[in-house]
Amino acid sequence: MSKLLNCDECKNMPWQDRPEGSFRPVWRYSNNPITKREYNENIDRIFNSALVPFDGEFIGVFRADTYQNRSFLYVGHSKDGYSIELEDKPLVLHNENGEVLPNVGYSRFDPRVIKIEDVYYVVFCEYTNAVTTAIAYTKDFKNFTQINNPFTPNYRNGVLFPRKINDYYKILLRPCDAGNSNFGDIYVSESKDLHYWGNAKLLLSAGFSGWNWTKIGGGPAPIETDEGWLILIHGVTSTCSGWIYSMGGIIVDKDDPSKVLYRCDDFLLTPDTDYEKTGFTPNVVFPTSVICDGKTGRMAIYYGASDTYTGLAFTQIDILVDYIKKHSK
């Protein structure tokens, strides 16, 4: 039976048992979506966001899109992991000299939050002249410092590993073009200081199965297990009616995360409900964060649905790892 490693107990995490008779490895929360459209007079949609345990409750960084279709990052709070309350204004980022960074250009979007030791890192996409991956950090979710330009333009879906590996920080990245590219593979890069990255290695190419024929990208922070690092990804395939985003999973070597051990040929979750199939961008399941309970192995997966809502799904580590290994090619 697979086990979570370096994972704290989370007694109050959201949870719903697997529906009776279900054979799927991941199941949806019955009261999805957990965010609604037209959140307030400034925010239309909340999706592709990241929630983590914090001081006995939950906190996170959320993508909030306005009625002008601009994207901002907001800190959000939750007592139970279901109901989300955003702060009144977008979070404020400072550069490493302590100066406030303005919200310029098109947007900041698709954050992941990764805890490494006692620091929470926010990895997100930033679009000014072109899209790139940005990294900020905080200890209290009140003061955020953004690292000065760690990556050149045309990188998306940055996801840090939650601890150093062989004394290096590791990150998943997907090279792209200046827009919403119709290609994309996942690479692993490393850094000693989070500022300068290199030694990039190809981890996974799109097209290993029909649900990711067009492109792939990293999802939530990798999850350490006794089998290796469990990595949830999104994959995109092209159909006559447009792109379809699904969730999949792989397991990579614990000491060399550029080495894939298992690659699930089946998708784990694909658009099937109204809130996933209809919205601002139809047919999207986009995983961005996972809350785990180290004692029970339970996992709560947060995902963006149709670029409009936040969905919640559940699994257990043994069920998910066994499924990925059984359906690996």
* 144 lies in some domain: yes
* 304 lies in some domain: yes
| 80 burial via Cβ count (<10 Å: 0-12, 13-18, 19+) | exposed
Which structural domain range is residue 200 located in? 27-326
* 17 lies in some domain: no
Which CATH number does the domain housing residue 90 bear? 2.115.10.20
Separation between Cα atoms, residue 225 and residue 111, nearest integer Å: 23
Tokens of 328: 């690996």
CB 130 within 8 A of CB 152: no
Tokens of 292: 């785990």
C-alpha R_g of the chain: 18
| 75 burial via Cβ count (<10 Å: 0-12, 13-18, 19+) | buried
pTM beyond 0.85: yes
Task: Give 276's Cβ-side CA count (13 Å radius).
Answer: 20
Residues 96-146 have pLDDT tens digits of: 999 999 886 568 999 999 999 999 999 999 987 788 999 999 999 999 999
- Which residue ranges in the chain fall short of pLDDT 50? none
Phi, psi of 211 (to 5 degrees): -80, -10
* 1 lies in some domain: no
* 220 lies in some domain: yes
pLDDT of residue 183: 79
pLDDT of residue 106: 65
* 9 lies in some domain: no
Tokens of 284: 């999207």
H/E element holding 22? none
Separation between Cα atoms, residue 70 and residue 49, nearest integer Å: 15
User: How many domains does the chain fold into?
Assistant: 1
* 18 lies in some domain: no
DSSP 8-state symbol, 165: B
pLDDT of residue 182: 74
* 247 lies in some domain: yes
